[in-house]
Amino acid sequence: MPGGRRGYVVQAVGGWLAFEPASWCGDEEPVTQLVAIGTGMDDAAVEAALRGCLDEPGSIPADHLHALTRYLR
């Protein structure tokens, strides 16, 4: 959430999914980061597909995030 001091770490491999709450350390600047590990990927195609999934900041109501809590460890 904008201005918040908490975030989430999401890891997925195959059918495995881990979703954990995390806090920013000290004056660490909050960031969103994606790491993809694999071979033979078309980087440009993957980036284009991911960009197509983006929403404008603030376009999703905060109460829509609550459905994700079922994945918390």
Q: In the chain, what percentage of residues exceed pLDDT 90?
A: 8
Cross-strand pairs, 40: none
Dist CA 60 CA 37 (whole Å): 28
Output the pLDDT for position 7: 79
pLDDT of residue 3: 62
Question: So where are the chain's domains?
Answer: 6-71
User: What tens digit of pLDDT does each residue of 40-65 get?
Assistant: 999 999 999 989 888 887 787 877 76
Distance CA 38, CA 70 (A): 28
First to last CA, the chain: 20
pLDDT of residue 65: 66
Q: Is a pLDDT exceeding 70 seen at residue 4? A: no
Q: Identify the pLDDT of residue 48.
A: 94
